[in-house]
Amino acid sequence: MTTTTTPRSVPVSQRVPRLVSRIAWYLLCILLAVSMLLPLVWMISIALKTNSDINQIPPTFFPHEFDWANFVNGPADIHFYRLLLNTVIVTVLSTFGAVASSMVVGYGISRIEFPGRRFWFATITGSMFVPGIVGLIPLQRLYIDTGLIDTYVPLILPAFFGSPIFVFLARQYYQSIPRYLDESALIDGAGHWAIFTRIMIPITKPVWITVAIMSFQLAWNDYLNPLVYLQSSSKFTLSLGMATLLGDQTGSEYNYYMAANLLFMLPPLILFFLAQRYFMEGLGSLGTISK
Amino acid sequence: MSRTEIDAIPVPTVRAPQEAKRALPVRRNQQRRKNALLGYLFILPAIIGLGLFVVYPMVTSLYHSFTEWNGLTPARWIGLDNYTEMFTNDPKFWSSVGVTLLWVVMSVPITMITALGLAVLVDRSLKGVKVFRTIFYLPVVLPAIAVLTLWKYIYDPTYGLANELLRDLHLPTSLWLGSTHTALASIMIVGVWSVGGTMIIFLAGLQAVPSELHEAARVDGAGAVRRFFSITLPMIGPILLLQLVLQLNAAFQTFNQVAILTKGGPGTSTDLLMYKIYNDGFANFIASPQLGYATAEVWVLFVIVMLVTLLMLRLTRGRFSAGEES
């Protein structure tokens, strides 16, 4: 940041190296950007190839002719829309649960004085470091015993109990809100619940949007949990369904597969471009866990 | 009622003011008790969550790791048999520990350094920098499974993009995921492709470094490299450390990449411990699932992760706190 401001006083002898370094910077960035995007461009190209084009040896980078029908036939071929519906159900419910629970818990831990709150905050944050794998086998057993296996409950339920990362994010944001806001409301006779719903929910919008986006991503992308907790293919989510299909897929239908895969990528992509700021903010504030 | 008001009340007897003075702490106690109740009501979901999703699984799985258990018949206590079997009689266990360590030791530093390099690169206010940041971050937005299935096809020796590029450059082609020599490295490349999340976290840290520090050092004649190592690195130290711990934690639990790209093969070259646990506990359809054995393996992995985490925190703590004090 500091190197880029060009005050008028810069002597000519420094301008030329500065220009060279700037050109080098652009060249490096462009090179990296192209190599990052190349796989995705290639994927789009595959998704548009015709059935005969896809098996040509040696393969060409771009399609000979564009087969837009792949975006209709591909998804239809693999029951894409049922997988999509399942994923939407799981994602919407667990996103709602994550936002509600983390905002409530975050409020309690940062705005209400009660004995033991430091302990609970440390314990909740510390549980972030417990590997998730520890829970997998006992919880699968629990869900089998309670008849909840092969339902969406195991995928949705945990979100309603305040995931440590989201509680942490919410708490950090609450801490930055001045105390006098709730103190004056308390003096006016408002209870904590009223302060939470009337004052806090509106002013903490940035953080709960961030939590919503992050939990959307978690649920949308989750693979291991559906793999362990779902059994019937009619209930599969997109991650599980697409991964399972890859095993069955023969080389000849990769154009269909990649067309469906692109549609699978689309909702998070759209969300990202609509709410880019919140993605970056959420990640940025995660870096402050150590403070 | 405040304390001064009470004190100002005319005193008829000797006992009355004591009672009045006592009334206030009682009220405060009530308030405190009410707050305690409310506080616990607000954090109740998290407490239940801790019990249900952390404590309960830890306790039951610790017990089950000492049993023989297939999930159908009741678990049978066998003491340390699972652990002795694992350490002395399961060559696949040791090979998967080796592969896991190799994976962690290689992938974590590579990801961290790449992410830091990219973060430094895009910590500029040149025109177009936001576009580059977005592009570098883009792979992270995409669903992991969509990305991995794409890469599986990219690595296809005949039809894949990877060999297509090598052929275009007149370089020898590779088997990528199909060879024991290149499979693990191929998986790592996918990880490097998606370092954008870590990059953004580092970038936020870099931007929080006060620019006056750099100015002052520049005036004193410190070059860019010197400034990076003496100012930037110590300032973002805590962020680096936390990311290191989280990345180590995640690397030990790598599953998706192996499950989609290689299924542990070829041979045992990518059979990470996490994937072996999954196979022993869930996917072994030929023999009945060995849940007791798999939970014992889970506990070994858990202990390794915890030891590494504590070790990292211990090794680096003194350094960073010393840096903050000075």
Note the pLDDT tens digit of each residue in B166-202: 988 888 888 888 888 899 999 999 999 989 889 988 9
The predicted structure's pLDDT at residue A192: 85
Q: What is the pLDDT along chain A (291 residues), one digit of tens a residue?
A: 444 444 455 566 667 788 888 899 999 999 999 999 999 999 999 888 887 787 777 777 888 778 888 888 888 888 899 999 999 999 999 999 999 999 999 999 988 888 888 899 989 988 888 888 888 889 988 999 899 999 999 999 999 998 898 998 898 888 888 888 888 888 888 888 888 888 888 888 888 888 999 899 999 999 999 999 998 889 999 999 999 888 765 556 888 889 999 999 999 999 988 888 787 776 666 655 544
Strands B67-68 and B76-77: antiparallel
Q: What is the mean pLDDT of chain B?
A: 84
Domain that holds residue A200: 79-248
Tell me the C-alpha distance between B246 and B259, whole Å.
Answer: 21
> Do A153 and A28 reside in the same domain of the chain?
no
The predicted structure's pLDDT at residue A49: 85
Q: Are A134 and B298 in contact (CB under 8 A)?
A: yes
> Do A205 and A123 reside in the same domain of the chain?
yes
Nearest CB to A129; choose among B50, B136, B309? B309
Q: Is residue B57 assigned to a domain?
A: no
Note the pLDDT tens digit of each residue in B266-321: 888 899 999 999 988 887 655 677 888 999 999 999 999 989 888 887 877 655 44
> Do A55 and A143 reside in the same domain of the chain?
no
Interface with A, mutate which of B29, B34, B37, B53 (most A CBs under 10 A): B53
CATH number, domain with residue A118:
1.10.3720.10
Q: How far is CA B8 from CA A192, A202, B5, B21, B238, in A?
A: 33, 43, 5, 12, 54
> Do A145 and A236 reside in the same domain of the chain?
yes
Number of folded domains that form chain A: 2
Tell me the C-alpha distance between B179 and B185, whole Å.
Answer: 10
Q: Is residue A54 assigned to a domain?
A: yes
pLDDT at B251 over 90: yes
Q: Are A127 and B48 in contact (CB under 8 A)?
A: no
Q: Closest Cα of chain B to A285: distance in Å?
A: 8
Most confident of A192-206, B8-22, B249-263, B282-296: B249-263
> Which residues face B67 on adjacent strands?
B77
Q: Give CA torsion, residues B228, B234, B238, B240, to 10 deg.
A: 30
* Residue in chain A lying closest to B40 (CA): A108
Q: Is residue A273 assigned to a domain?
A: no
Nearest CB to B142; choose among A58, A108, A265? A265
Tell me the C-alpha distance between A215 and B155, whole Å.
Answer: 31
> Do A131 and A86 reside in the same domain of the chain?
yes
Q: For residue B177, give the amino acid letter.
A: L
> Which residues face B68 on adjacent strands?
B76
Note the pLDDT tens digit of each residue in B101-142: 999 999 999 999 999 999 999 998 888 898 999 999 999 999
Tell me the C-alpha distance between B228 and A3, whole Å.
Answer: 13
The predicted structure's pLDDT at residue B17: 44
> Do A177 and A49 reside in the same domain of the chain?
no
Note the pLDDT tens digit of each residue in B89-111: 888 899 999 999 999 999 999 99
Domain that holds residue B134: 91-325
Tell me the C-alpha distance between A61 and A114, whole Å.
Answer: 63
Q: Is residue A256 assigned to a domain?
A: no
Q: Closest Cα of chain B to A203: distance in Å?
A: 19
Q: Are A170 and A106 in contact (CB under 8 A)?
A: yes
Tell me the C-alpha distance between B255 and B277, whole Å.
Answer: 10
A233 DSSP 8-state letter = G
Name the helix (H) or strand (E) containing A224: helix A224-229
Q: Are B75 and B290 in contact (CB under 8 A)?
A: no
> Do A172 and A152 reside in the same domain of the chain?
yes
Q: Is residue B183 assigned to a domain?
A: yes
CATH number, domain with residue B267:
1.10.3720.10
Tell me the C-alpha distance between B271 and B103, whole Å.
Answer: 10
In total, the C-beta contacts within 8 angstroms joining chain A to chain B are 269
Q: Which of A33, A50, A71 is the last residue of a domain?
A: A71
CA angle A63, A64, A66 (to 5 degrees): 65
Q: Is residue A6 assigned to a domain?
A: no
Q: Is residue A285 assigned to a domain?
A: no
Per CB-CB distance under 8 Å, the chain B contacts of A74 are: none
> Do A108 and A226 reside in the same domain of the chain?
yes
Per CB-CB distance under 8 Å, the chain A contacts of B228 are: none
The predicted structure's pLDDT at residue B255: 92
Tell me the C-alpha distance between B66 and B75, whole Å.
Answer: 9
Q: Is residue A122 assigned to a domain?
A: yes
> Do A40 and A102 reside in the same domain of the chain?
no
What part of A 115-144 touches B (C-beta under 8 Å)?
115, 117, 120, 123-124, 127, 129-142, 144
Q: Is residue B181 assigned to a domain?
A: yes
Name the helix (H) or strand (E) containing B186: helix B183-193
Number of folded domains that form chain B: 1
Predicted model pTM:
0.85
Contact between A136 and B53 using a beta-carbon 8 Å cutoff: no
DSSP reduced 3-state for B257: helix
Enter the tokens of residue B245: 């711990």
Q: Closest Cα of chain B to A241: distance in Å?
A: 10
Classify burial at B252, counting beta carbons within 10 Å of its beta carbon; exposed 0-12, middle 13-18, buried 19 or more: buried
